[in-house]
Amino acid sequence: MVGKKAKRTRRHGTVMTGADMIIQVIADEGIDTIFGYSGGAILPTYDAIFRYNSDNPNKNIKLVVPANEQGAGFMAAGYARSTGKVGVSIVTSGPGATNSATPIRDCMSDSIPMVLISGQVARASIGTDAFQEAPVFSLMSSCAKHVFLVKDPEEMASTIRTAFQIARSGRPGPVVIDVPKDVQNWEGPYDSENVLQLHGYQDRVKKMTHQKMPKKDADTFLKLLKHSRRPLLYVGGGAVIGNASKELHTFMKQFQIPAVTTLMGIGAIDTQSDLCLDMLGMHGSAYGNYAVDECDMLIALGARFDDRVAGLPKEFAANAVIAHIDIDAAEIGKVKPVDWHYVGDAAMVLRGLNKAGKDWKIEHKQWLRHVAAMKKKYAFNFNRESDVIQPQAVLETLNTLTKGDAIIVTGVGQHQMFSAQYFDFKHPRSWITSGSMGTMGFGLPAAVGAQAANPGKLVIDVDGDGSLRMNIGELETCTNYDLPVKVLLMNNQADGMVLQWQTLYYGSRFSGTDKTLHMKDFVKSAEADGFKFAQRVSNYEDLQPALEAFISFDGPAFLEVRVDKSAFVYPMVGPGLPYRDMITGPHIEGRDTESREDTLNSSSSF
């Protein structure tokens, strides 16, 4: 909890430098890996890492140095997303900090706990346009959950400690600490227990942490649920972040309610469950979107009604009573008016509702039969007759091999959506992707971070040729640290998602998206970066054997699969359109407006 003192350690009062204090607090916080790139203004802290590891041979903090500071930020994000722990990146001033702006904003958008420590020029030089000076506080204030500029060296340890508490408490997010070089070099007694006092924030977090749902609130919700004939859960990333998966499964089974998830909510529910209707939204399942259209009660859990889900808010779940559970009060009613809401931790709220509802007889058998039939009728599908490898076929085949147990990380684009559609996930934090920011170049470094955090797990980066190019330098990071990341490149020689939009909405004018003139040999690039397994597949005959060898290889592995450039992501709900205008494409069965109205009329008797 923010504001709570840490336990005093044996090093309390020991005279050390400000840089030593940074590393000591990181160690006290239980962080075992730091990602970052050195430079002049952060050299004292990098020297402190070396000395800390020399003095603590049995409790080393691993340092992973990327090709670029943006890579370090995404590695820290992959570490955090796959574990729930705070990811840490340490970079130098100026360009080191500005290169970190994108991963900081990416973490803020997806509520990911991260601490970025950036070096800064000495206090006396701030504001003089000194060498490698950047206005980090101003720049990051609009990107991060909180930003500190450490001017008082006596507050060094308490500031670092407070940053960790802010990053992981309430609605998690990234915290930036800008540390002038002379503050790093300052010497003084180490304070191992104090934190800064941020009373307003601390009071809100304390209230959410300790409150229990009042009986009247639970009863109001349960009355709405009992009256409902077609309830549907709309599960967002907050269910994963809030570690609410266990309580969510209990809730779904107890009240027999099916669920759709957002892109960030994938993994909160076992996708193989009969009650899981998979992802909703712009590229969600047809059956999931139809269920949203038909439901008479929509229960949003840790979701925020973003534009990729509720494209036309007044038409989204237009026939439903809206209940909204979220830890952030600012999200309630922001996009869609609600009929019932509760601000609190997702797991805590579900525990309260599960307990309160034990004596309520609530079931929805007819609705469940209906959604099960839709799930079968409107299933994902693709062109299975083509001689050209379809990207969906690659992932469908890989899914049969991984059986829902791998950590899947993606870049951004068509391959990201295909992965969300065709992989199974049994556990939370096994799906890692850039959601709200949609940052190309995220996949490879995030996979490095996830692998560093989960050394015994199979970690696969599913990437596209455009997205991989953005941070391709991190291939060498895999081999430098012998991290057995599996990099699956689905190469369609295009910016596939943009090309899809250009085809559908811009008269097939492919401005800037055709990559056929690009000459990069990705396999040779991987070999040059030390990959012992680097192969290319261009036909179906070789696909499954290559995938089997790829995931079983002992070490980093790279597999490029040449896929069909004309394979589009369906279903697709156009921007700002209602679900009734969803395009299901040539291979997924859909229904017209007339059949939709017939279904809505017949389902009213459920």
User: Taking the chain (606 residues) in consecutive chunks of 10 residues, what is each chunk's mean pLDDT?
Assistant: 71 93 96 97 98 95 98 98 98 98 98 98 96 96 97 96 96 98 97 87 79 91 96 98 97 97 97 97 97 97 95 94 96 96 95 94 94 97 97 98 96 98 97 97 98 97 96 98 98 94 93 83 98 98 98 98 96 92 95 64 61
Whether this prediction's pTM lies above 0.85 is answered by yes
Residues 6+ apart with CB under 8 A from 557: 484, 485, 486, 487, 531, 533, 534, 550, 551
Over the range 14-32, which residues count as b (16 or more CB within 10 Å of their CB) and which as e?
eebbbbbbbbbbbbbbebe
Residues 371, 256: Cα–Cα separation, whole Å: 12
Beta strands at 407-410 and 431-432: parallel, antiparallel or unpaired: parallel
- The Cα-based distances of 463 to 100, 192, 341, 404, 491 in angstroms read 21, 43, 38, 18, 8
Amino acid at 167: A
Q: Give SS3 for 314.
A: helix
Return the active site residues. 69, 131-132, 181, 497
DSSP summary character for residue 124: G
- Residues 204 and 216 grouped into a single domain: no
Tokens describing residue 110 = 């997806």
- Residues 168 and 268 grouped into a single domain: no
DSSP summary character for residue 423: -
Residues 6+ apart with CB under 8 A from 456: none
* Residue ranges of E strands in 253-343: 259-261, 276-279, 297-301, 321-326, 340-343
Pinpoint the alpha helices (H) of 199-268: 199-210, 215-227, 237-241, 245-255
Tokens describing residue 423 = 């992989």
Tokens describing residue 287 = 């059956």
Sign of CA dihedral 429, 496, 515, 491: positive
- Residues 266 and 296 grouped into a single domain: yes
Residues 476, 8: Cα–Cα separation, whole Å: 41
Looking up residue 447, the CATH number of its domain turns out to be 3.40.50.970
In a domain, 102, yes or no: yes
- Residues 530 and 544 grouped into a single domain: yes
In a domain, 8, yes or no: no
Residues 483, 59: Cα–Cα separation, whole Å: 20
Q: Phi and psi dihedrals of 83, rounded to 5?
A: -125, -25
Report yes or no: 175 and 87 within 8 Å, Cβ to Cβ.
no
Residues 348, 327: Cα–Cα separation, whole Å: 10
Other residues' Cβ atoms within 10 Å of the Cβ of residue 272: 11
- The Cα-based distances of 306 to 191, 333, 410, 573 in angstroms read 43, 12, 20, 14
Residue with tokens 């192969």: 535
How many Å is the Cα radius of gyration of the chain? 25
- Residues 180 and 236 grouped into a single domain: no
Return the ∠ at Cα 248 (arms to 371 and 308), rounded to 5°.
65
Q: Give SS3 for 562.
A: strand
Q: Give SS3 for 583.
A: strand
Out of 348, 377, 406, a domain closes at 377
In a domain, 154, yes or no: yes
- Residues 352 and 408 grouped into a single domain: no
Residues 103, 390: Cα–Cα separation, whole Å: 31
- pLDDT of the residue at 600: 58
- Residues 363 and 255 grouped into a single domain: yes
- pLDDT of the residue at 334: 96
Q: How many domains does the chain have?
A: 3
- pLDDT of the residue at 193: 86
Q: How many CA atoms lie within 13 A of 52 on its CB side?
A: 26
- pLDDT of the residue at 210: 72
Residue with tokens 């525990």: 351
Residues 526, 531: Cα–Cα separation, whole Å: 5
Residues 208, 223: Cα–Cα separation, whole Å: 24
- Residues 395 and 369 grouped into a single domain: no
Q: Phi and psi dihedrals of 318, rounded to 5?
A: -65, -25
Domain encompassing residue 349:
212-377
Report yes or no: 606 and 364 within 8 Å, Cβ to Cβ.
yes
- Residues 529 and 558 grouped into a single domain: yes
Pick from 87, 72, 86: nearest CA to 38:
72
In a domain, 171, yes or no: yes
- pLDDT of the residue at 192: 86
Q: Phi and psi dihedrals of 459, rounded to 5?
A: -115, 125
Q: How many CA atoms lie within 13 A of 265 on its CB side?
A: 31
Angle between helices 43-55 and 18-28 (to 10 degrees): 50
Give the chain's length: 606
- Residues 231 and 198 grouped into a single domain: no
Report yes or no: 473 and 67 within 8 Å, Cβ to Cβ.
yes
In a domain, 4, yes or no: no
- The Cα-based distances of 206 to 4, 169, 218, 351, 352 in angstroms read 10, 10, 21, 18, 18
Beta strands at 187-189 and 15-17: parallel, antiparallel or unpaired: antiparallel
Q: Phi and psi dihedrals of 187, rounded to 5?
A: -120, 140
Report yes or no: 481 and 452 within 8 Å, Cβ to Cβ.
yes
In a domain, 282, yes or no: yes
Residues 578, 55: Cα–Cα separation, whole Å: 61
Q: Phi and psi dihedrals of 408, rounded to 5?
A: -100, 125
- Residues 228 and 178 grouped into a single domain: no
- Residues 181 and 218 grouped into a single domain: no
DSSP summary character for residue 88: E
In a domain, 577, yes or no: no
Out of 377, 405, 425, a domain closes at 377
Helices (H) and strands (E) in the chain, counts: 24, 20
Decide: residue 210, CB within 10 A, 0-12 exposed, 13-18 middle, 19+ buried. exposed
- The Cα-based distances of 255 to 199, 277, 364, 486, 509 in angstroms read 39, 16, 8, 40, 50
Out of 169, 185, 208, a domain closes at 208
In a domain, 283, yes or no: yes
Tokens describing residue 169 = 């408490």
- pLDDT of the residue at 115: 98
Looking up residue 226, the CATH number of its domain turns out to be 3.40.50.1220
Residue with tokens 């290169």: 99
First to last CA, the chain: 45
